[in-house]
Structure 1
Amino acid sequence: MKDWWQATFLQGRQNVIITDTKGYPVQISYGEKGKGKPLILLHGMGNWSYNWRYSINPLSQHCRVICFDAKGYGFSEKPVSRREDNGHQIIELARIIQELCDEPPVIVAESLGGLVALSLAQEYPHLVGRLIVVNVPIFAEKLPHWAMWILAQTPIEIIETIDTLRLTYLLAPLFREIMAMERRQVLYDPSVLSQEDIYWIAYPFIEFPGTIVKVAEELQIAAREIAKWQEKKPNLLSKIQSKLSAIECQTLILWGQQDSWFPASHADKLHKYIPHAKLQILPNCCHDASIGSSQEVNQAIVEFLQETNFL
């Protein structure tokens, strides 16, 4: 099968080295397409740049689109010997922007990526030109899927053993089928997911040791944060919620009307907290909006950037 990076980006897959929150160099994989002002596409939990496959070309007609895999995901480095600190994604996103952008970019972020982007806009406002968040778990009260819960509860040593034995590689056909079943559940029209899509969605989990460990680690951090929030103990989620009114940049909130993970009522609540925000509900759309409603998402992004004089 043809290399997705090479087929999508003129220069194929590129790499940039940043310093992570523990002071270690880490390699981040990315691709870019188009010219003009920078626009960064940020994926969610368990995904990688491929999830934005329907947005890269349309948005590159207007901006310099930069699509990267967060540390531990996709083709980026997976430092399994180091445990992550809560909130590391925020600092690492800031450092990626500083390396790749010569002016504040548009940040388009989906699901967990949206939560990271909201915090970035609070802590590093000078690094955000415009903010677009899609189906963001800002008011999540639990992990939304049973598989996430299992990974969050499983000792990391067991997951490391599974990863070391390369069980996903040995059982690749079964693993792809399971992932396909689960991904179709977050799509309004499951038929849009092709066999090629399934191959690439599962690719990092099958081919790159460390992927499952890093995703499980992030889920365990998320589970602890939700537990602290429920117990009214200090937590990052409450901190982000309490500072939503401090977000200064023009913001677009996109939300799937049928999102079963994080209901559209959360979108209304988020909209009320952010001063310069516009809300758009996407009809016939579940959680995976970048795939299931890509045309509507792309159109909404372009119109928003035109309305706010970014383009």
Structure 2
Amino acid sequence: MVDHETWSDEQSATTVSVDGHDLEIAYHEAGPADADEPPVVFVHGIPTWSYLWRDVVPPVAEDRRTIALDMAGYGNSAMDDGFDRSIRAQEGVLEALLDDLGLEKIALVAHDIGGGVALRFAAHNPGIVDQLVLSNAVCYDSWPVEFVSNLGLPATADIDRDELEGRLDAAFVEGAYGESDPEFVDGMKAPWLTDEGHLSLVRNAVATNTNHTTEIEYGAIDAETLLLWGEDDVMQPYSYAERLADDIDDAELAPLSAAYHWVPEDRSEAYAERLREFLAGAEP
């Protein structure tokens, strides 16, 4: 387990062009670069960043090359106040990053609004996404939730740092199953506790747009799909995983008990084990 400072130090960065904006995108890379199987790309949600995958990436990287990106406006990626941060735009970020890294086929693992990004990308690029793993992902009309909507209110840009930190504490503590790891909570909050990060978080929340998941043609997704879902989540309920299983042809439900919204953190060991089985094509 690494702390968020170490994770940041291990990241690389590249510049991609999306909607006419040149954006620096940070990503964490691990695992064998010469692995025979496609790389595993991890996409986080809001208000998280790639550090969400801190306990999942290392076991997966024992066998596969892994790339965990910070979406535009998140983590250590560009945060300046002049570009779109919507799911549609983040799909463009993902596409540009894969092109920059020369990746023609991937396994895609995503959580929360990162799941919305992954769903769009998989529907639009069936030849690239070989395997798809969705965890408590936004889809259809399942979002935005009240906490995120409130982050996007104009007044949120003017609250003091202590109040912002209190709201984030509540989200990460209340959205977890059982006692939260203080290191996880501190790591998740860290990017937002600067003036630039504070404003970027508000802009990210404002950019949430349900139209970007209601318009997806879910039946166009042909990737082998695992719905690795914390079944006690109230923000993205398990019923949406069941709906996805009905609409995606090759989809398997994999509920994880004793897990709320932050399932890669709540059940990191079980999550990583089931993920590795799926990636290897093994029966659970």
Q: Aligned partners of 2:130, 2:80: CA distance in 1, in Å?
A: 31
Q: Aligned partners of 1:113, 1:84: CA distance in 2, in Å?
A: 12
8 Å contact from structure 2 (residues 73, 204) kept in 1: no
- 1:187 deviation in Å? 1.1
Deviations 1:11-38 (A, max 9, x none): 72211110022x1211011121111231
- 1:177 deviation in Å? 4.5
Q: Aligned partners of 1:111, 1:12: CA distance in 2, in Å?
A: 24
8 Å contact from structure 1 (residues 26, 77) kept in 2: yes
Regions of 4+ moved over 4 Å: 83-86
| Aligned positions, number | 278
8 Å contact from structure 1 (residues 176, 198) kept in 2: no
Match of residue 17, structure 1, among 15, 18, 22: 15
8 Å contact from structure 1 (residues 140, 262) kept in 2: no
- 1:141 deviation in Å? 4.5
Deviations 1:205-253 (A, max 9, x none): 113x33333332332232xx44xxxxxxxx332211xx11111111111
Identify unmatched segments of 5+ residues in structure 2.
none
- The AA in structure 2 aligned to 1:287 is H
- Secondary structure of the 1:125 match is coil
Task: Name the structure with the higher strand share.
Answer: 2
Q: Aligned partners of 2:87, 2:59: CA distance in 1, in Å?
A: 34
> For residues 215 and 125 of structure 1, do their structure 2 counterparts lie closer, same or farther at Cα, with a shift above 3 Å needed?
farther
Match of residue 215, structure 1, among 198, 201, 221: 201
> For residues 121 and 82 of structure 1, do their structure 2 counterparts lie closer, same or farther at Cα, with a shift above 3 Å needed?
closer
- Secondary structure of the 1:130 match is strand
Give the structure with higher Rg (CA). 1
Match of residue 214, structure 2, among 209, 225, 238: 238
- Residue 279 of structure 1: aligned partner: 253
- Secondary structure of the 1:17 match is strand
> For residues 127 and 237 of structure 1, do their structure 2 counterparts lie closer, same or farther at Cα, with a shift above 3 Å needed?
same
1:179 and 2:176 equivalent? no
1:203 and 2:190 equivalent? yes
**CA RMSD of the aligned region, Å?**
2.4
- 1:3 deviation in Å? 6.7
> For residues 61 and 114 of structure 1, do their structure 2 counterparts lie closer, same or farther at Cα, with a shift above 3 Å needed?
same
1:26 and 2:23 equivalent? yes
- Residue 306 of structure 1: aligned partner: 280
Identify unmatched segments of 5+ residues in structure 1.
227-234
> For residues 268 and 221 of structure 1, do their structure 2 counterparts lie closer, same or farther at Cα, with a shift above 3 Å needed?
same
- Secondary structure of the 1:63 match is coil
TM-score (norm 2): 0.89
TM-score (norm 1): 0.81
Taking only the aligned residue pairs, the percentage that are identical comes to 24
